[in-house]
Amino acid sequence: MTSMDLSRFSINQMTVKQLSLPELAVACGELSVRQVGLWREPVQEYGLAATAKLIRGAGLTVTTLCRGGFFTAIDPEARAAALADNRRAIEEAAALGTNTLVLVSGGLPPGSKDLRAARERIADALAELAPYAGENGVRLAIEPLHPVYASDRCVVSTLAQALDLAERFPAHQVGVAVDTYHIWWDDRAPAQIARAGAGGRIHTFQLADWTTPLPEGVLNGRGQIGDGAIDMREWRGHVEAAGYTGPIEVELFNEELWARDGREVLAETVERFHSAFL
């Protein structure tokens, strides 16, 4: 393997979730990977302070914490619990030294068919959380999820919708997550990336490729970079033309990748990232 410029590369922990946090830190060291995106559950399991220490000790930077959100409940108690959980997520992000908390906003509550109302409840939740995020030096990144997830996971389906929500707040409090997997089909996305960049609201840029057939439940079929339909170079061009110079995080949910040796998958991901932008 020739020497690669990995200064922009970040590996999202989910891509190699078969690796424990210490294993991930070692594997990153071996491959000269310097940046990681982390998830709350494995961090909580290992311990927040222990994770922060491990990551710092390994010379790694945390690019994002995934994820807050799930703001669409109607029940007042469920809403209060979600807000409390998101305050903890903000604190965890700050403790890990990342300035970006990714939000998956939540699907339709049971029995509801009202997407508009669900989206408005997200705005209500952001109004409560955005100042707290700002006080903690953490930016909330609303992630539009592919419309295939609109009913059960995220009623925010396009960058335009995410920006409509984000722009109600200062950019240092709320922006968006640009993930190729979720937006690649959308002919309006390039203009929305420009809009996001002009407002300083591209808070993370993530890659996954679109491969078919999708597995049952459509959650864990995100393709390795280069295996699918998405022109990664084109999308990187859009975010960079919009002024984005931050990390490029590879976040794959893929049963086949998870079944393999995690270090091998990380090495492959590094190689694919490099090849995509040659």
Q: Is residue 148 involved in binding its own copies (CB under 8 A)?
A: yes
Per CB under 8 A, contacts with its own copies among 172-191 are: 184-187
Q: Is residue 228 involved in binding its own copies (CB under 8 A)?
A: yes
Q: Is residue 77 involved in binding its own copies (CB under 8 A)?
A: no
Minimum separation from the CB atom of position 121 to its own copies (A): 15
Per CB under 8 A, contacts with its own copies among 198-227 are: 210, 212-218
Closest CA to 192 of 225, 231, 159, 161: 159
Q: Is residue 230 involved in binding its own copies (CB under 8 A)?
A: yes
Phi, psi of 10 (to 5 degrees): -135, 140
Q: Which is nearer to its own copies, 164 or 271 (CB)?
A: 164
Minimum separation from the CB atom of position 257 to its own copies (A): 18
Per CB under 8 A, contacts with its own copies among 150-169 are: 150-152, 157-158, 161
Q: Is residue 116 involved in binding its own copies (CB under 8 A)?
A: yes
Distances (CA, A) of 245 to 34, 101, 259: 16, 18, 33
Q: Is residue 146 involved in binding its own copies (CB under 8 A)?
A: yes
Q: Is residue 246 involved in binding its own copies (CB under 8 A)?
A: no
Find the radius of gyration of the CA atoms of the chain.
18
Distances (CA, A) of 275 to 69, 71, 181, 211, 256: 33, 38, 18, 18, 21
The Cα–Cα gap between 138 and 135 comes to 8
The Cα–Cα gap between 238 and 225 comes to 17
Q: Which is nearer to its own copies, 109 or 246 (CB)?
A: 109
Q: Is residue 108 involved in binding its own copies (CB under 8 A)?
A: yes
Q: Is residue 115 involved in binding its own copies (CB under 8 A)?
A: yes
Take residue 31 and report the two structure tokens written for it: 């491959």
Minimum separation from the CB atom of position 220 to its own copies (A): 11
Buried b / exposed e over 9-25, threshold 16 CB at 10 Å, is: bbbbbbbbbebebeebb
Minimum separation from the CB atom of position 117 to its own copies (A): 11
Q: Count the residues of the shown chain that bind its own copies, applying the rule CB under 8 A.
A: 31
Closest CA to 87 of 30, 150, 135: 135
- The residues, any chain, with a CB within 8 Å of residue 138's CB and separated by 6 or more, are 90, 93, 94, 98, 99, 100, 101
Binding site for its own copies (CB under 8 A): 108, 113-116, 146-148, 150-152, 157-158, 161, 184-187, 210, 212-218, 228-231, 234
